[in-house]
Amino acid sequence: MTTISVLYDTSYLMAGDGLIMWGSDGDFNLSWPFQEYFVLEHIVPEEVKKEIASHFGNPEKDKSARKARTTCAEILALPNHKEVSLAALEPVEPIERILGPDSPTDKRILAEAWRLSKANPKDFVFIATHDGGIKIEAALWNSKLGMQIFTPSNRDSFVEALVSDASPKYETSIKEAQELREKEQREREQEKEDEERARKEQERIQGRQNAAFAVLFCAVVAIVIAFLVWVYPPIVGWFVIILIIFVVVCWLFG
């Protein structure tokens, strides 16, 4: 399974945009069945929490900060969330030095995205942010360095990359499912052939047994008839013979 690490920034949470979710009405407009090939991992850095908490009591930002705290609570309630500290990370030298990230937290968020991408190049990193500096730097990393790092600014490119990643897996699963169905069909047909072959063999054996029994029965009847012809007078003997033949014919055909 390919992991999508969603890294939340203070600006995104303060804007009240909520959780990053799947679906046509969600942030990642990626329909089924492609969703099943990815695992969403939600990350809220400790530094982001502290920035949100610093706005409590601020007349202009208190309401937004409390909404952001509610969103953080929803994220932390998810089974696939992860809490990290960015304190030990060294900022990555930016490509864009003028309009790129400016605050220490922004630089460390990018450093975490860099670390995640380098640790697992086939996985994806989505930085949920409204900060222009982070967006610019992430876009340059994606276009110039080929890193799988995206932001809301290049969301469409991100979804295209997900589809490109999942399509071969989906086609392979479809092919495997088709091969499995064909194999099961062949096995069912083979079972029917085996059953038919066994039935015919049983009929052949039964036919041989019936034939052997008929021969034996006819031999016994012949002996009885010969005995009766020899013992009884001819008239009585022939009467008995005709009676025995009648009984035998009735038994065989009726």
- Which backbone phi and psi does 141 adopt, to 5 degrees? -60, -40
Integer Rg of the chain from CA: 42
Question: What local confidence, expressed as pLDDT, does residue 204 receive?
Answer: 84
User: Could you tell me if 161 and 123 are in contact, meaning their C-beta atoms sit under 8 angstroms apart?
Assistant: no
Question: What local confidence, expressed as pLDDT, does residue 174 receive?
Answer: 45
Between residues 96 and 48, which one has the greater pLDDT? Answer: 48
Question: What local confidence, expressed as pLDDT, does residue 159 receive?
Answer: 81
pTM given for the model: 0.65
Beta 38-45 vs 2-8: how paired, if at all? parallel
Question: In this predicted model, what pLDDT tens digit does every residue of 161-182 receive, in sequence order?
Answer: 887 887 666 555 445 445 556 6
Whose structure tokens read 């969330």?
A: 81
- Which backbone phi and psi does 212 adopt, to 5 degrees? -65, -40
Indicate the average pLDDT of the chain: 81
Ordered by start, the domain boundaries in the chain are 2-171
Question: In this predicted model, what pLDDT tens digit does every residue of 243-252 receive, in sequence order?
Answer: 677 666 666 6
Whether the per-residue pLDDT at 12 is higher than 80: the answer is yes
- CATH superfamily, with its number, for domain 2-171: 5'-nuclease (3.40.50.1010)
Question: In this predicted model, what pLDDT tens digit does every residue of 219-248 receive, in sequence order?
Answer: 776 676 666 666 666 655 666 667 677 666
Between residues 4 and 232, which one has the greater pLDDT? Answer: 4
**Mean pLDDT on 30-47:** 78
Whether the per-residue pLDDT at 17 is higher than 70: the answer is yes
Whether the per-residue pLDDT at 26 is higher than 50: the answer is no
- Angstrom CA distances, 14 to 10, 49, 59, 63, 65, stand at 6, 11, 14, 9, 6
**209 pLDDT tier (thresholds 50, 70, 90):** confident
